[in-house]
């Protein structure tokens, strides 16, 4: 399984209209070709940003679906005039995180993105493997994955929270109990860290 993450920065005040047109095109044809894993829009962090995440069996299926969507005219929606910037990346999930979380788990989601030194991803995965079960008891992880195409030596993890207050509580509890952050990850592996807090519309499978 792979996940294509498409991040769009939109023009000022166009997010509601973008989501309306995206949902209509998605529900009326694109969804039948392959479903979303999640759709988010930014609340804290880079504003006027949307993220849509698509699961595929492999790159061949991704290409086939995209070709069919264009051929049949069901995709893309009429949204180009709202987009300021676009970025697409393809991620491979951590081995123990192959299924994207779905259902009602939010409404708040934290998207954490780390750039790391080359060659450290395997060690990071091992550190996560030893710690993730205890951390998942505090709040669910929607996905943890590393880049395969796009900015390399990067991994992303997405967490679901009931509120800003619960996020703060969970993070404090993880540190107090010593279950998070993972202790087994390579020291000095991380170069930069970024995060953003997101919300999900009603048509997102994870919300």
The answer to whether residue 206 is domain-embedded is: no
**Looking at residue 98, what is its pLDDT?**
78
User: What is the three-class DSSP state of 155?
Assistant: strand
The answer to whether residue 174 is domain-embedded is: yes
Q: Which domain holds residue 193?
A: 2-199
Q: How far apart are CA 126 and CA 143, in angstroms?
A: 16
Degrees, nearest 5: CA angle 160-161-166:
155
The answer to whether residue 188 is domain-embedded is: yes
φ/ψ of 167, rounded to 5, equals -60, -50
In the predicted model, residues of the chain with pLDDT beneath 50 are none
48 to each of 11, 56, 79, 81, how far by Cα in Å?
Answer: 7, 27, 14, 14
The answer to whether residue 32 is domain-embedded is: yes
**Looking at residue 12, what is its pLDDT?**
96
**Looking at residue 186, what is its pLDDT?**
87
**Looking at residue 184, what is its pLDDT?**
78
The answer to whether residue 6 is domain-embedded is: yes
Q: How far apart are CA 113 and CA 128, in angstroms?
A: 15
Question: In this structure, are strands 141-149 and 83-93 parallel, antiparallel, or unpaired?
Answer: antiparallel
The answer to whether residue 37 is domain-embedded is: yes
The answer to whether residue 82 is domain-embedded is: yes
The total number of structural domains in the chain stands at 1
Torsion sign over Cα 22, 27, 28, 29: positive
- 19 close to 116: Cβ distance less than 8 angstroms: no
φ/ψ of 149, rounded to 5, equals -135, 130
CATH number of the domain within which 39 lies? 3.30.70.100
The answer to whether residue 9 is domain-embedded is: yes
Half-sphere exposure of 42 (CA within 13 A, CB side): 18
Q: Which residue has the tokens 């505090």?
A: 138
Q: How far apart are CA 146 and CA 16, in angstroms?
A: 30
130 to each of 42, 58, 115, 172, how far by Cα in Å?
Answer: 31, 27, 21, 20
């Amino acid at each position: 399984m792979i996940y294509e993450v498409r991040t769009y920065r939109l023009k000022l005040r166009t997010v509601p209209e973008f989501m309306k047109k995206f949902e209509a095109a998605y529900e009326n044809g694109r969804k039948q070709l392959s479903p979303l894993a999640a759709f988010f829009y930014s609340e804290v962090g880079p504003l006027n940003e949307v993220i849509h995440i698509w699961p595929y069996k492999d790159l061949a299926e991704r290409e086939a679906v995209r070709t069919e969507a264009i051929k049949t005219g069901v995709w893309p929606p009429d949204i180009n005039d709202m987009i300021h910037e676009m970025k697409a990346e393809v991620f491979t999930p951590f081995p123990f995180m192959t299924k994207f979380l779905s259902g009602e788990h939010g409404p708040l989601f934290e998207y954490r993105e780390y750039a790391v030194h080359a060659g450290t991803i395997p060690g990071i995965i091992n550190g996560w493997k030893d710690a993730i079960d205890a951390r998942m008891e505090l709040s669910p992880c929607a996905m943890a994955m590393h880049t395969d195409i796009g900015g390399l030596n990067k991994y992303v993890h997405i967490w679901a929270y009931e509120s800003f207050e619960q996020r703060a509580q969970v993070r404090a509890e993880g540190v107090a109990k010593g279950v998070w952050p993972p202790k087994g990850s390579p020291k000095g592996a991380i170069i930069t860290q970024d995060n953003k807090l997101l919300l999900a519309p009603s048509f997102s499978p994870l919300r």
